[in-house]
Structure 1
Amino acid sequence: MSTLAQDATIAAASIAAPAAAHRYLYLRLVKDVTTSTRLRRAGRTTAVALTVLVPTGVLAAQYANPTRIAWLAWPAFLWVALAAYLLMTLVALELPVRLTARTLRRRSRSTTIVPKQTPHALVVQQGHSGATSMMDNTNTRKAEDASSQLLRRRLVLARSVALLATGTAAATTGYGFHRGLGAPDVKVVPVALRRLHPSLDGMRITMASDLHLGPFFGRSHTARMVRMINDTSPDIVAIVGDLSDGSADDLATHAAPLTRLSSTHGAFFVTGNHDYRHDVDAWIATLADFRITTLRNTRALIKHGGGAIDLAGVTDVTGRQNHDAPDYDRALDDRDTSHPVVLLAHQPVQVHQAARHKVDLQLSGHTHGGAFFPGNLLVPLTQPLTAGLTTIDRTQLYVSRGVGASLPPIRVGAPPDITVIELRRQ
């Protein structure tokens, strides 16, 4: 398929999916709950406007200057989050609502059936046409009343479902934004390593991943994160990828508080997949100005007391598309195996290569802990761990939920975190 055809397919999909979703929302939240022609027309117009808003906001957030499109990104992604929970709630209620509506129809039909008449009654009716006409009118009125009652019950049901879905979605989205944009949790996770020198017992590596500087996370977000990291008294600071959703030219001032990071042995950075959406070299140069060392398929020997560890870092797997592929041999070979090695790698899936090189501990981010349902169900399809600590082929893997959030910036059931990895002798 040609590039032009691929772009056309992506563009069509970016419109088709929001269009289908907004049509469903219009049917359930507007058409089903009102008989007013004016309100239905307004609902259709709103659905069309929101269908255009969503892809416009997404594209602007990816390619435009993040500092200038907040006015568009905020309503677009606020609605994306709200619409997602509206859809999930309405789809979950779809089956019970349909069963209830079917029951109402059956009851309505049973009340409009004309009772079976006896032959005597038929004879009487044949002789009394006026009485027959009166009975017909009565039955017609009963049918009309039953139909009207069915319509009222269906409206009550549809409105109840719409209110329940809207309330649930609004409450969940509000909480999600509050948690996603709020202060991260600080977690202390002890990790036992083989061959760790006694003088390194208790060494603290404070890690933060997925800052996602952009339209939602700016300078104040970075400054708060730096204060919280410094409060943990780190020996090493590790920033594990996805620093920004924009270019260094646009967002360097948002990242500037990183110059105030304080630790015994310095701050280190590895690239994430979002960092390759813009000029990654410009970001690496900017971080160097902020006294942050980028481990680009290399390692640093950290000496502390009478012991040492190797702190290695590899580029993200997305780097392959940008002539910056992860090189585990370069980062991990020819090292002194008498002391442990800690690897910084943005994506947890990179642990399989780390295990082949006998890495003791890999620190990763990328997953956001699933961020919000159903993300927690999707992450395991591509990553070996969503969040927390595990061991894979004798290599320990810790995955942070990150301090920022991708778009939309909401967190439900997966709060952001700064993690202090406390090294312990095994």
Structure 2
Amino acid sequence: LYRLSTTAVGISFMLFVVTLIYDLMITTSRQLPFDHQRREAIKWAFDVTMLTAAAAYLLRGFVEGAKPPVLNEVSVTIPDFPEDGFTIIQLSDVHVGHTIRRSFMQSIVARVNALQPGLVVITGDLFDRTAARIAEDLEPLRGIIAPTYFVTGNHEYFRGVTPALEMLRSLGVIPLTNQHRQIVLTQGRFNLLGVNDLVGAGFGVEPFDIDAAYEGLDASLPTVVLSHQPKSIHYFEEQRCDLMLSGHTHGGQIFPFGLLVKLDQPYVAGLYQHNVAQQIFVSRGTGYWGPPIRVLAPSEISKITIRNR
């Protein structure tokens, strides 16, 4: 029922987009100085074109939604980072629960391990049901070979954030709840800092608290920040934050929904230079939310390689 209802919503959105474009084209054609016969021929051509486009649009959405996540390789320069070529694998917005289950997680973990990362981070919205209902589906996380860190997304609060965090700890995943850790490498150290999602304040549990996260932090060290929503970067402009890793947007998931995402979030997908000192990378998400449909926003496993020169 969930898959059926969410798929219907996705198809409805896509048909709305096609209908809107069709209406704009017809309205424009009526302004052209053509006779009735010519106008009817143009309308027929529009009808055929838009029906074909609608079918292709829907087909692409389902085909792209069914594909496994692509590997998105990104190079980021942090001049004083202690190790050139250090790799972080980022997973985000997996939305385990209704249609994304254990087999998907097994395949993701196998691919992550094959990349031999120095670190794995999960930037929120891992849960789409309560922790108790998807315990078996999340079990493969125990098999990740690299240290793995997690920050909350908005969906963790919808499904019960406290048991979600407890479950992750039992699987060997380390939640950073307004906390930071110093990651020790062979040639030096860097800070890994994580904050709770912005919606936490509204739930009265595990709120966003940047002051707590930075308490005692050595600002002389390069700092990588995990924060679910890209718009949270504005809170970090006065702090040491060389690179923020975020998700939440799904890259729009179904084009042109990304244009609406821009109304709420400053960045939608990819790597951006926020200011002179700060960069932000936004994942398109490893799973999907709602309908199993994606258009021009493929799901991804993000491989971030940090360069210091």
Q: Tell me whether the two structures share a fold, i.e. TM-score over 0.5.
A: yes
Which position in structure 2 is the counterpart of 1:358? 240
Identity of aligned residues (%): 34
Check whether the contact 1:355–1:392 (CA below 8 A) recurs between aligned residues: no
Give the deviation of 1:398 after TM superposition. 0.8
Give the deviation of 1:410 after TM superposition. 1.6
- SS across alignment from 1:223: helix
Bigger mean CA deviation after superposition, 267-276 or 169-178: 169-178
Give the deviation of 1:333 after TM superposition. 3.0
For structure 2, which runs of at least 5 residues remain unmatched after alignment? none
The CA RMSD over aligned residues, in Å, is 2.5
Output the CA distance in 2 between the equivalents of 1:347 and 1:287. Answer: 20
User: Aligned residue pairs: how many?
Assistant: 307
Which position in structure 2 is the counterpart of 1:181? 66
Which position in structure 2 is the counterpart of 1:305? 186
Quick one: which amino acid aligns to residue 280 of structure 1?
V
Larger radius of gyration: 1
Higher helix share: 1
Give the deviation of 1:91 after TM superposition. 2.1
Bigger mean CA deviation after superposition, 76-85 or 404-413: 76-85
Bigger mean CA deviation after superposition, 76-85 or 246-255: 76-85
Output the CA distance in 2 between the equivalents of 1:154 and 1:218. Answer: 52
Which position in structure 2 is the counterpart of 1:87? 16
Alignment equivalent of 1:413, drawn from 274, 287, 296: 296
Alignment equivalent of 2:6, drawn from 49, 53, 77: 77
For residues 206-256 of structure 1, give each alpha carbon's deviation from its aligned partner in whole angstroms, at most 9, with x where no partner exists: 101000112221111111111111111111100000002111111111111
Alignment equivalent of 1:281, drawn from 135, 145, 162: 162
Quick one: which amino acid aligns to residue 57 of structure 2?
T
Higher strand share: 2
Output the CA distance in 1 between the equivalents of 2:219 and 2:98. Answer: 44
Quick one: which amino acid aligns to residue 183 of structure 2?
I
Alignment equivalent of 2:56, drawn from 161, 166, 171: 171
Output the CA distance in 2 between the equivalents of 1:96 and 1:313. Answer: 48
Output the CA distance in 2 between the equivalents of 1:252 and 1:166. Answer: 44
Give the deviation of 1:97 after TM superposition. 3.4
Q: Are residue 272 (structure 1) and residue 153 (structure 2) matched?
A: yes
| Distance 1:156-1:267 versus aligned 2 partners, 3 A rule | same
1:227-242 equivalences in 2 (<5 Å): 227-242=110-125
Which position in structure 2 is the counterpart of 1:37? none
Alignment equivalent of 1:258, drawn from 125, 128, 141: 141
For residues 161-213 of structure 1, give each alpha carbon's deviation from its aligned partner in whole angstroms, at most 9, with x where no partner exists: 6665444333322221222232111122121113222xx22111110100011
Check whether the contact 2:3–2:290 (CA below 8 A) recurs between aligned residues: no
| Distance 1:165-1:77 versus aligned 2 partners, 3 A rule | farther
Check whether the contact 2:3–2:291 (CA below 8 A) recurs between aligned residues: no
Output the CA distance in 2 between the equivalents of 1:161 and 1:77. Answer: 29
Output the CA distance in 1 between the equivalents of 2:8 and 2:55. Answer: 10
Output the CA distance in 1 between the equivalents of 2:272 and 2:265. Answer: 13
For structure 1, which runs of at least 5 residues remain unmatched after alignment? 1-71, 109-152
Give the deviation of 1:352 after TM superposition. 1.3
- SS across alignment from 2:63: helix
Q: TM-score, normalised by structure 2?
A: 0.90
1:167-246 equivalences in 2 (<5 Å): 167-197=52-82, 200-246=83-129
For residues 140-165 of structure 1, give each alpha carbon's deviation from its aligned partner in whole angstroms, at most 9, with x where no partner exists: xxxxxxxxxxxxx9999888766654
Quick one: which amino acid aligns to residue 249 of structure 2?
T
Q: TM-score, normalised by structure 1?
A: 0.67
Higher relative contact order (Cα pairs below 8 Å, separated by 6+ residues): 2
Q: Are residue 331 (structure 1) and residue 216 (structure 2) matched?
A: no
Check whether the contact 2:121–2:149 (CA below 8 A) recurs between aligned residues: yes
